[in-house]
Structures are given as structure tokens and as C-alpha cells.
Homo-oligomer: A and B are copies of this chain.
Amino acid sequence: MVEVALAQSHMFRAYPALWERIVPHCRKKPYEKGTMVVHHGEEAGALWLVIGGWVKIFRQTPDGKEAILGLATDGDLFGEAAFFAHGSYPYHAEALTDAELIMIPAAVARDTIQGNSEFSRHVMSMLNERIAETQLKLDQMTTLSAVQRLGCFLLRLCRDDGAGRKTLRLPVEKHVLATYLGMKPETLSRSLQQLQQIQIEVKGQEMIIANVAALRDFVCNSCSESGMCQTEGEID
């Protein structure tokens, strides 16, 4: 199970010799809903691959606010600080649902890039993708309206859900989604109602998208990644 998940991951897919070498050092760990995986500021002892459930990546302010940097699920990686000597986690991670993770010890992660310049370049290009993703989210805070940001989130779920199906369930609770999208819970509620304009029916946690192309037009025309985003091309 650890073998298969690592072999299929974006990080190791193209490097079978490498994952074979690291598999014996990795461990699968279950986390119950609500338990912490890592803490902000602690030494980055491992790199983490999510293989089941959802993990909230977040930070807190002294005056009690929370910012959600990411919602990680199947195939997502976090804890890249483990690649760097004396790196510390720049965020908390908490299991939002029961979750399963693979732990790749930091020493093992660092060993994979040591003296392997092809794999180093691969890791660098993954870090570069992470920069691009984060910058896009930052752009979207000013270029997209609240309902468009919600629409972009749904478009990404459509992609994961295969090409044909247009019925989705929200994978996380609404207050978590609101924080992740950088809006107040009441703004999310209003945005969910406004989706009707573009033929999306919301029934509790379930949403029926009648016309993905209409959703895409509604969102992507206001996005700085328009024309270069995978989400635009892959669904129909």
C-alpha cells in the first residue's frame, strides 16, 4: 500500500529506482478526525503524502484568527521544509476527516536529492509549481469575486471527479471552506445561493452542476491564469 501510493505520487512517479530505495524507510500512519499531524514552528522531521481523507494546512494569529493555506487530499504532499537541514514546518496540519498519511523521514527525503541532480530539478520544479499555485490564489483574492472563488473551487473538484459527472459533494464543512476561500461564512452562504444564476443547484452538501462550460466562463474570464490553467482544459 505504501509502495503503490509512493510509486503513483507526483513526486516519485518518474523515479522508480528512487522510491524502491526509500519505501523501506516510510511508514503509513492513520490520523483520527481532529488530530494534529504537525505543528507550526516545530522541526520538520518528515515529508508527508496524503493517501486518504482531508488534511487542513493552516496558521493562526496571536489575536485568534485562522488562515487556511491548503486542503490536502489523496496524492497531495506537504512538509517540503523537510528537504532542508534545520527546516521547520511553516504551518500546522490537522486531520479534517479520518485520514491516512505516508511519513517520509526528513533524513531520507534529503538523501534523495543529495547527489541526484535530475531528481533535485524535479523537486525544484514542484516547488515552483507550489509558488505558482499560491500566487494564483493570491491574485484571485483581488480579481475574483467571492462567488467566482467558490466557482473555481468547484471546477477543480469537477476535474477530480472525472469528465462526465457533474454532481459533487462539498468535501469539507462549510465554515472550513469559507476560511479556505478567504471569506466569512455568511458570504459563502450567499455565494452558494448565487450559483443558481449559472445553473448550479445546491441541496445541503450536494451540488448539481447542469453546465460546466457556463461555470468555467463565469470563473475563468476573471482569472489571471486564464488560458494556461489545467482546470480549464480537462473538463467537459
Say whether B84 contacts A121, CB under 8 Å.
Answer: yes
Q: Does A127 contact B (CB under 8 A)?
A: yes
Say whether A128 contacts B128, CB under 8 Å.
Answer: no
Complex Cα distance A127/B120, Å?
A: 12
How many residues on chain A are close to B (CB under 8 Å)?
50
Q: Does A205 contact B (CB under 8 A)?
A: no
Say whether B59 contacts A139, CB under 8 Å.
Answer: yes
B67, B143, B223, B226: the one contacting A143 at CB < 8 Å is B67
| Residues on B with beta carbons closer than 8 Å to the beta carbon of A139 | 59, 67, 69
Say whether B222 contacts A63, CB under 8 Å.
Answer: yes
A149-186 vs B, CB cutoff 8 Å, 1 = contact: the mask equals 00000000000000000000000000000010010000
Q: Does A65 contact B (CB under 8 A)?
A: yes
Q: Does A197 contact B (CB under 8 A)?
A: no
A111-148 vs B, CB cutoff 8 Å, 1 = contact: the mask equals 00111110011011101101110110111011100000
| Residues on B with beta carbons closer than 8 Å to the beta carbon of A128 | 80-81, 83-84, 87, 127
Say whether B179 contacts A142, CB under 8 Å.
Answer: yes
CB distance from A93 to the nearest CB of B (A): 14
| Residues on B with beta carbons closer than 8 Å to the beta carbon of A117 | 113-117, 120
CB distance from A157 to the nearest CB of B (A): 20
Q: Does A62 contact B (CB under 8 A)?
A: yes
Say whether A67 contacts B221, CB under 8 Å.
Answer: no
Complex Cα distance A221/B117, Å?
A: 42
| Residues on B with beta carbons closer than 8 Å to the beta carbon of A67 | 138-139, 142-143, 224
Q: Does A8 contact B (CB under 8 A)?
A: no
Given the known inter-chain contacts A117-B117, A123-B124, A124-B120, please indicate yes or no for A61 contacting B134, CB distance below 8 A: no
B60, B135, B137, B143: the one contacting A224 at CB < 8 Å is B60
A67's nearest neighbour on chain B, judged by CB, is B139
Name 10 A/B residue pairs within 8 A (Cβ), A-sorted. A61-B143, A63-B222, A65-B143, A67-B138, A69-B135, A80-B128, A84-B124, A91-B135, A137-B138, A138-B138
